Chains A and B, each alone.
Chain A
Amino acid sequence: MKILILGAGAIGGYVGGRLHQSGADVTFLVRDKRNEALTRDGLVIKSTKGDITQKVKTVTKATDGGPYDIVLLTCKAYDLDSAIDAIAPAIGAGTTIVPLLNGMRHIDVLATKFGDAKVVGGLARVGVAMNGKGEILHTSPFAAISFGERGAAPARPALVALDAAIKKSGVDGGLNANIVQDLWDKWIMLCTLAATCCLMRGASGDILEADEGQAIVLETVDEGRKVAAAAGHDPGEKGLATIRSFLTVKGSKFTASMLHDLEKGAMVEADHVVGDMIARARKAGIATPNLRMAYAHLQVYLAQRARKRA
């Protein structure tokens, strides 16, 4: 089974590196500059689960080295359009695309472009970052990806094979029969965290110090829940309880990565993580006053950023 990974950033680099290390046939599709660095220095992973520097297969065009059975997409949501252009030549009749992006909108975009059947659901849970030297720094105790069919059908052979490769690589997770619900649950959590941390410019615990911080966080969870329910994916009481307890830990230093990006002046997944939730809410006639406020905050930031870069 041939696996193409778009990008060798934090998640793609870590997961692809572990797959390669354990003998899977992995190719990284990267830009020229990253290709030079990887060819010269190898892929460097520094991890709580062991450091490794290894030579990996790279291509700079998706026409090279294919056809691929699996294409793993680990780009940021705002790079989706260019990612689609980049992978398009690698997609053959038997290719399965496994996107590991936040939110849901990318699934519709990919399905429209490549056909519904080629796109499965995927979810990453890896506490990983890339430093200025292009090294992958995996600092958290967990590293998991899960994936599965979006419909009720049993997993296709390519996903079964990917599951086996993932298990062999030491990355946690694998096949997930419940992937779409899990994507919604994660999105509700992420959307709330990103919206509230950015709107309030603080860590989870800072917000909870404010008189109404917890109430605002819980209302925001509820806005996401209603949108999910309207799409037929209510997380249910148990799923909700998990999300709520995660977001209401007093003193928590937990912070949305979007806030870190924002304070660095970097691009943010505002439209994908928050804007799309609002758009779905509007369509379903659901009021989302908290998300609206947060999205306005993010739009102010994006307008300022665009002006600075102009």
Chain B
Amino acid sequence: MKILILGAGAVGGYWGARLHQSGADVTFLLREKRAEKVRKDGLVVKSPKGDAVVPAKVVTKGSEGGPYDIVVLACKAYDLDSAMDSIAPAVGSGTTIVPMLNGHAHFATLDAKFGAARVAGGLARISGMLGPNGEILHSGASGVSFGERDGKPARASLVELEAACKKAGIEGGINANINQDLWDKWIMLATIAGMCSSMRGTVGDIMETEDGEAIVLETLDESCKVATAEGHAPSDKVLAGLRTMLTAKGSKAVASILGDMEKGGAAEGKQIVGDMLGRARKHGIAAPNLRFAYTHLQTYEARRARGGLK
């Protein structure tokens, strides 16, 4: 089975490196600059589960090295359009696309371009970031899960991908409940990204204010109503877990989007918060807190576009 991974950031890079180490046939599709670096230095992984320098196969065009059975999309959501152009030549009649993006907006886009049958659901729980020299600094969780979005038994290539993951020490694997899990994760992300960005602090910082806990729980409720209207209400158990996690006093939990913003980088505001707000509107659900958060994120983009406050 041939696997193509677009992107060698924390998620794609860590996952692909471990697959490669355990003997899977993995190729990375990278931009010229990143490709050159990885070709020269290998894929450098620093991880509590063991450091590694992996001499990964790299291409810069989707037309090279294919056809592929699996194409993993491990880009940021705002790079989806260029990522689709890049992978298009690598997608054949038997290819399954496994997107690991946040939010839900990418499914409609991918379905329209490649056909819904080719697009599985995917969810990453790999925590890490890229270091200053492009090394992958893996810091904790190392799970991915994927599955059929309609809940049917997994196709053969996903079963094979699961076996490869198990061999590579990657937790997770096939997930019969992927669509609901994606919604659950999105509810959590929309809340934590919306709150940490618009309040510019960690969960614990927000809990120190008079109305912080109430504001966070209202925001979670707004997202839950959207998920419910879309037919994907979280279970009571999931909801209780989210409530606890998002209101933990002293918590240092923070959305990675805040780190992106504090560096002045691009942020997935539209995909994580904007799309949730858009769906709230469509269903006639009031979402005042998501509205504040998205306005904050749009203001950030406007300020970033003109290069600062002055």
Contact = CB atoms under 8 A, between A and B. Distances in A.
A109 interface: no
Interface stretch (B51-59, B112-120, B160-168, B209-217): B209-217
Contacts of B295: 200, 207, 210-213, 216
Contacts of A216: 291-292, 295
- Please report whether the interface of chain A is mostly helix, strand, loop or mixed according to DSSP: helix
Given A255-B309, A300-B212, A303-B208, A212 B291 contact: yes
Contacts of B310: 253
How big is the A interface, by class? 20 to 34
Contact of A206 (B198, B212, B291, B302): B302
Contacts of B303: 201-203, 206
B298 interface: yes
Nearest to B196: A300
Contacts of A211: 294-295, 298
Contact of A201 (B206, B209, B294, B296): B296
Interface in B263-301: 288-289, 291-292, 294-296, 298-301
A92 to B, nearest CB: 41
A299 B88 CA distance: 48
Interface string A273-310: 00000000000000001101101110111011000000
A209 interface: yes
B209 A296 contact: yes
A41 interface: no
Contacts of A303: 201, 205, 208-209
A83 interface: no
B289 A293 contact: yes
A255 B308 CA distance: 12
A124 B296 CA distance: 31
A218 to B, nearest CB: 13
B302 A199 contact: no
Contacts of A260: 309
Interface in A5-43: none
Given A211-B298, A212-B291, A289-B288, A299 B198 contact: no
B232 interface: no
Contacts of A290: 292
Nearest to B298: A210
Given A199-B292, A202-B303, A300-B206, A213 B298 contact: yes
A205 B301 CA distance: 12
A305 to B, nearest CB: 11
A289 B291 CA distance: 12
A263 interface: yes
B129 interface: no
Contact of A296 (B199, B288, B291): B199
A67 B240 CA distance: 65
B2 interface: no
B200 interface: yes
A105 B233 CA distance: 46
| Nearest 4 A/B pairs, CB to CB | A210-B298, A209-B302, A299-B209, A202-B299
12 contacts: A206-B302, A206-B303, A211-B298, A216-B291, A216-B295, A260-B309, A296-B199, A296-B215, A297-B198, A299-B209, A299-B212, A300-B199
Interface of B: 198-201, 205-206, 208-212, 215, 288-289, 291-292, 294-296, 298-303, 306, 309-310
Given A212-B291, A297-B200, 16 more contacts: A200-B300, A201-B299, A202-B299, A206-B302, A209-B298, A211-B295, A213-B299, A216-B295, A253-B309, A255-B309, A290-B292, A293-B198, A293-B215, A296-B211, A297-B198, A300-B200
Interface of A: 199-203, 205-207, 209-213, 216, 253, 255, 259-260, 263, 289-290, 292-293, 295-297, 299-301, 303-304
